[in-house]
Amino acid sequence: MSQSSSMGLHGKVVLVTGASRGIGAAIALAFAREGATVVVNYLSNDAAAQQTVAACQAAGGDAWAVKADVGNATEVQTMVDSIVSEAGCIDMVVNNAFKPYTFDPEQRRRFDDLEWSDYQSQFDGAVGAAFNVCRAVLPQMRQRARGSIVNIVSNLVENPVVPYHDYTTAKASLVGFSRNLASELGPVGIRVNCVAPGLVYPTQGSQGTKEAFRESLMAATPMRRLASPEDVAGPVLFLASDLSGFMTGQVLLVDGGLVMR
């Protein structure tokens, strides 16, 4: 049996938010390789989004890009309506987009430097965006009594090796959001899970992370390296596919064993 048929993603429609580059682009490409129809959502970088689409098409998946701010409920609804009218449905969603954040332990703001608005901004970026997307896609998933949602969180929730207070608190809330949704949607055949990467390098957010810190993190990690965007894609595919058909409300840690649960 070929891998693509066992994963059962061929011809399935997946929406990946924040997919013009980094982790989102790697996830989109991995779905395309399995023959899925991939919708690349992005905020502003037209050229990068088109590059991801071209890579997905070259890998054998149907793909197109949709520009929409996932923080804006109206734009999200318009995006979802356009995908459903074009593709007939949305089978899977990966909520990967997040508010820009710089992972630099030396430059990070201490608790005393933060305002509540910093937390609110990250909360809106993590939970608010997932809320908007779920609100828009769930009616058609409920109708067909099937669907899979994967939300990208962080291993910092389990082990705040660097206290990025506002970012990590928002991601912890996204785990709670996901589990409540999993509990409510399980009876109608819709699954909701999370993938929690460690530091992923290189990405837009991690490019400022100093080499000395990266090396100390690698030394503390059993697998002695950092995650690449591609490392995150495999577990996302697993949770989106029928291979994980009896899993919901779970958080898969993808950090080389830094956090063991």
Average model confidence (pLDDT) for the chain? Answer: 95
pLDDT over 60 (residue 2) = no
Would you say residue 74 lies in a domain?
yes
Domains: count for the chain: 1
User: For residue range 202-247, what is the model confidence (pLDDT) as tens digits?
Assistant: 887 887 788 899 999 999 999 999 999 999 999 999 999 999 999 9
Would you say residue 259 lies in a domain?
no
> Which residues, 6+ apart, have CB-to-CB distance to 224 below 8 Å?
218, 256
pLDDT value at position 76?
A: 98
User: For residue range 91-142, what is the model confidence (pLDDT) as tens digits?
Assistant: 999 999 988 898 888 889 999 999 999 999 999 999 999 999 999 999 999 9
Would you say residue 48 lies in a domain?
yes
Which tops the pLDDT comparison, 7 or 233? 233
Would you say residue 16 lies in a domain?
yes
pLDDT value at position 1?
A: 36
Would you say residue 257 lies in a domain?
no
Would you say residue 260 lies in a domain?
no
| The one catalytic residue among 42, 101, 164, 167 | 167
Would you say residue 214 lies in a domain?
yes
pLDDT value at position 210?
A: 86
Domain extent, residue 205, equals 3-252
CATH of the domain at 161: 3.40.50.720
DSSP 149-198: EEEE--GGGT--SS--HHHHHHHHHHHHHHHHHHHHHGGGTEEEEEEEE-
User: For residue range 70-96, what is the model confidence (pLDDT) as tens digits?
Assistant: 999 999 999 999 999 999 999 999 999
pLDDT over 60 (residue 23) = yes
Would you say residue 258 lies in a domain?
no
Cα-Cα-Cα-Cα dihedral sign, residues 243, 188, 75, 69: negative
Our answer to whether residue 164 is catalytic in this structure is: no
